[in-house]
């Protein structure tokens, strides 16, 4: 085995989908079934479905895979195509799908040219965002859900960390450290 070979990097597919008026409940029902299907797939690392607000028809799906090959194999399957037809029937339009390797999607600033900061900078900023959340959320969840098992609390903690990092912490840190992350684009 070649020790210099680079291990495959995880890939995140971010799908933004607008649902037809009055079809939100059906979409959510279908997504619950779809999540069960997705979680059984080889190379799948996790999925999060977020709704803009309780009265929004906008949904964002974050779907992580161990490698681009795992994602490609998944999306090439007949079962996946069938699911996209079922979800498409309640959607107002085709979803906008964007794929990003590793953690790069956290450092995507709209006014910056395409490209990503060096991995060491992304790792440092991610640690800066994750550390306080990983200290605070377990205590909060344990207080709110004292009777739940460890794995259930762990799932809630992981979900809270991912959601908070994706929509609050990492966008704020990316803007705050923009000059350090992208010095060549000043």
Which tens digits make up the pLDDT trace of 36-77? Answer: 898 888 888 888 787 766 677 888 888 888 888 998 999 999
Q: Is residue 114 a contact partner of residue 182, using CB atoms and an 8 Å limit?
A: no
**pLDDT digits 0-9 by tens, 73-125:** 999 999 999 999 999 999 998 888 877 665 555 555 444 444 567 778 878 88
Kindly state whether residues 20 and 80 are assigned to the same domain: yes
SS3 content of the chain, % helix, strand, coil (to 5): 55, 15, 30
Coil vs helix vs strand at 51: strand
Kindly state whether residues 136 and 67 are assigned to the same domain: no
Report pTM. Answer: 0.55
Q: Which domain holds residue 71?
A: 11-102
Kindly state whether residues 123 and 164 are assigned to the same domain: yes
Q: How far apart are CA 124 and CA 126, in angstroms?
A: 5
Give the total number of structural domains in the chain: 2
Q: Any idea what the CATH number is for the domain that residue 29 is in? A: 3.30.70.100
Give the residue among 38, 66, 57, 40 at the shortest CA–CA distance from 95: 57
Q: Which of 70, 102, 134 is the last residue of a domain?
A: 102
Q: Which of 35, 67, 102 is the last residue of a domain?
A: 102
Enumerate residues 6+ apart whose C-beta is below 8 A from 72: none
Residue 111 has what pLDDT? 46
pLDDT of residue 138 exceeding 80: yes
Q: What average pLDDT does the structure give for the chain?
A: 81
HEC profile of 73-129: HHHCCHHHHHHHHHHHCCECCCCEEEEEECCHHHHCCCCCCCCCCCHHHHHHHHHHH
Kindly state whether residues 148 and 80 are assigned to the same domain: no
């Amino acid at each position: 085995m070649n020790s210099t070979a680079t291990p495959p990097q995880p890939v995140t597919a971010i799908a933004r989908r607008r649902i037809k008026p009055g079809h939100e409940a059906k979409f959510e029902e279908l997504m619950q079934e779809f999540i069960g299907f997705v979680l059984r797939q080889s190379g799948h690392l996790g999925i999060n479905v977020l709704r803009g607000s309780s009265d929004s028809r906008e949904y964002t799906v974050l779907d992580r895979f161990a490698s681009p090959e795992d994602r490609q194999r998944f999306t090439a399957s007949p079962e996946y195509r069938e699911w996209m037809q079922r979800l498409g029937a309640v959607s107002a339009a085709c979803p906008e799908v964007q794929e990003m390797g590793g953690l790069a999607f956290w450092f995507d600033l709209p006014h910056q040219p395409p490209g990503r900061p060096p991995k060491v900078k992304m790792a440092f900023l991610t640690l800066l965002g994750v550390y306080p959340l990983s200290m605070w959320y377990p205590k909060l969840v344990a207080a709110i859900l004292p009777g739940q098992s460890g794995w259930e609390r762990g799932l809630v903690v992981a979900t809270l960390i991912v959601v908070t990092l994706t929509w609050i912490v990492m966008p704020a840190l990316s803007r705050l450290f923009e000059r350090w992350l992208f010095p060549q684009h000043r």
